[in-house]
């Protein structure tokens, strides 16, 4: 059996999530620069919030 790389497996789901994530990104209200000032990786932080939602 041939195993597909994970980035190919979920390609249809990812497009749907991407627009939701961009909407979520704009509603968080915390600027990336502000998070960096506190030593937080903005991408990881927002991803964590998005997953908990």
**pLDDT (tens digit per residue) in 15-49:** 666 677 677 676 677 788 888 898 989 888 888 87
Residue 26 lies in a domain: yes
Instruction: Return the CA Rg of the chain.
Output: 14
Cβ contact 50:24 at 8 Å:
yes
Neighbours of 24 (CB within 10 A): 15
Residue 1 lies in a domain: no
Rounded Cα–Cα distance for residues 8 and 10 (Å): 6
Structural domain including 31 reads 13-52
Residue 6 lies in a domain: no
Residue 2 lies in a domain: no
Q: What is the mean pLDDT of residues 6-15?
A: 57
Residue 25 lies in a domain: yes
Rounded Cα–Cα distance for residues 26 and 2 (Å): 39
Residue 7 lies in a domain: no
Residue 38 lies in a domain: yes
Q: What is the pLDDT of residue 35?
A: 86
Rounded Cα–Cα distance for residues 46 and 31 (Å): 11
- Say how many domains are in the chain: 1
């Amino acid at each position: 059996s041939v195993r597909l790389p994970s980035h190919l497996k979920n390609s249809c789901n990812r497009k749907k999530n991407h627009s939701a994530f961009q909407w979520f990104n704009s509603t968080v209200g915390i600027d990336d620069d502000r998070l960096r000032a506190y030593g937080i990786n903005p991408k990881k932080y927002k991803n964590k919030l998005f997953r908990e939602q």
